[in-house]
Chain A
Amino acid sequence: MYTASDLRKGLRLKIDNEPYVIVEFNFVKPGKGQALYRTKLRNMINGNQFERTFRSVDVFEPADLREKKMQYLYKEGDKYCFMDNESYEQVYLTEDQVGDSVNFLLDNIEVEILLFEDRPIGISLPNFVEVIVTEAEPWAKGDTVSGATKPVKVQTGYTILVPTFISEGEKIRIDTRTGEYLTRVKG
Chain B
Amino acid sequence: MNTSQKDDQFYLARKAKNLRLRAKFMQSVRHFFNEHDFLEIETPLRIPGPAPEEHIEAIPSGNWFLQTSPELCMKRLLAAGYPRIFQICKCFRARERGEKHLPEFTMLEWYVAHFDYQDLMDQCEAMLLDAFRNMGYPRDITWQNKKIHLESPWERITVANAFARYSPVSLSETLNQNHFDETLVQYIEPRMGINRPTFLYDYPPELAALARIKKSDPSVAERFELYIGGLELANGFSELTDTAEQRRRFEKAAGARATKNWQNYPMPEKFLTALENLPPSAGIALGIDRIIMLMGDTTQIDDITAFPPESL
Contacts and interface: CB of A to CB of B under 8 A. Distances in A.
Interface string B176-187: 000011101110
B195 to A, nearest CB: 21
A129 to B, nearest CB: 13
Contacts of A183: 1-4, 7
Nearest to B233: A31
A105 to B, nearest CB: 22
Interface in B64-78: none
A32 B13 contact: no
A34 B55 contact: yes
Interface in B163-205: 180-182, 184-186, 189
Interface stretch (A22-30, A64-72, A88-96): A22-30
Interface in A5-49: 5, 26-36, 38
Nearest to B184: A30
B3 A26 contact: no
A53 interface: yes
A145 interface: yes
Contacts of B9: 145
B207 A33 contact: yes
A146 B13 contact: yes
B185 A30 contact: yes
Given A26-B99, A29-B55, A29-B96, A145 B181 contact: no
Interface residues of A, number: 26
A184 interface: yes
B16 A32 contact: no
B100 interface: yes
A49 B61 CA distance: 42
Given A27-B99, A28-B100, A33 B4 contact: no
Contact of A5 (B3, B95, B182, B186): B95
A139 to B, nearest CB: 12
Contacts of A28: 98, 100, 185
B13 A53 contact: no
A30 B203 CA distance: 13
Interface residues of B, number: 38
B185 A147 contact: no
Contacts, number: 80
A147 B20 CA distance: 14
A28 B6 CA distance: 34
B232 interface: yes
B167 to A, nearest CB: 14
Contacts of A35: 55, 95-96
Contact of B10 (A5, A53, A163): A163
Q: Main SS of chain B's interface residues?
A: mixed
A163 B54 CA distance: 45
Interface string A146-164: 1110000000000000010
A1 interface: no
B1 A53 contact: no
Given A147-B14, A163-B7, A165-B6, A32 B55 contact: yes
Identify the interface centre among A33, A163, A165, A182: most chain B CB within 10 Å of its CB: A33
Nearest to A53: B182
A140 interface: no
A128 B54 CA distance: 40
B208 interface: yes
A38 B184 CA distance: 13
A57 B248 CA distance: 25
Given A26-B99, A147-B14, A32 B209 contact: yes
B235 interface: yes
Nearest to A184: B4
A34 B181 contact: yes
Nearest to B9: A145
B184 A33 contact: yes
Nearest to A146: B13
B184 A27 contact: no
Identify the interface centre among B1, B9, B180, B181: most chain A CB within 10 Å of its CB: B181
B139 interface: no
Given A28-B100, A31-B225, A183-B3, A147 B189 contact: no
Given A28-B98, A29-B98, A30-B232, 8 more contacts: A28-B100, A29-B101, A32-B55, A35-B95, A36-B181, A145-B13, A163-B7, A163-B10
8 contacts: A28-B100, A29-B55, A30-B232, A31-B225, A32-B209, A145-B10, A163-B10, A183-B7
The 5 lowest CB-CB distance pairs between A and B, nearest first, are A147-B14, A27-B98, A33-B181, A147-B13, A34-B55
